[in-house]
Amino acid sequence: MSENGKGDRRDVAVNSFDVLKEYDVLMHDILEDVQRVVSGVEVDLDELVLKISKALDTKSFEEVLPAQMGQFFEHDAVGFQNQIVAFLGFMKNDLDVTNRMNLRIDDLKDQVRILKGNWECYRLVLEDLILRTDASTTNRLDSGKPIENLIESLVFRAKEKCSGRHLEIATSPDLGELKKIKLANPYGFIFNFLQNCFSNAVDTNVKASKFKLSISIDGDNCIFEFSDNGIGMSDDIQKKIWRKGFSGKNGRGLGLADVPERASGFGSSASVESSPNSNPGGEEWATKFVLKAPILKE
Return the domain boundaries, the chain.
12-133, 148-294
Cβ atoms within 10 Å of 22's Cβ, excluding its own: 12
pLDDT grade for 8, boundaries at 50, 70 and 90: very low
For position 1, what pLDDT does the model report? 66
pLDDT in tens, 131-149: 998 777 788 889 899 999 9
Window from 5-19, 20-34, 151-165, 192-206 with minimum mean pLDDT: 5-19
For range 14-31, the mean pLDDT: 90
pLDDT at 5 (0 to 100): 38
Q: What are the beta bridge partners of residue 294?
A: 221
Q: Which letter does DSSP use for residue 215 in this model?
A: E
pLDDT band at 263 (very low <50, low <70, confident <90, very high): very high
State the pLDDT at residue 238: 94
pLDDT at 250: 66
**Residues 6 or more apart in contact with residue 240 via CB below 8 angstroms:** 246
Residue 189 to residue 194: CA distance in whole angstroms: 9
- Which stretch of DSSP H or E encloses residue 162? none
Evaluate if residue 4 carries a pLDDT over 50. Answer: no
Buried b (16+ CB within 10 A) or exposed e, 142-159: beeeebebbbbbbbbbbe
Please give the CATH architecture assigned to the domain spanning 148-294. Answer: 2-Layer Sandwich (3.30)
Which of the two residues, 67 and 39, has the higher pLDDT score?
39
Q: State the Cα–Cα distance between residues 20 and 13, nearest whole angstrom.
A: 13
| Chain segment 220-241, per-residue pLDDT in tens | 999 999 999 999 999 999 999 9
Tell me the pLDDT of the chain averaged across its residues.
Answer: 92
Global pTM exceeds 0.85: yes
At position 257, the amino acid (one-letter code) is: A
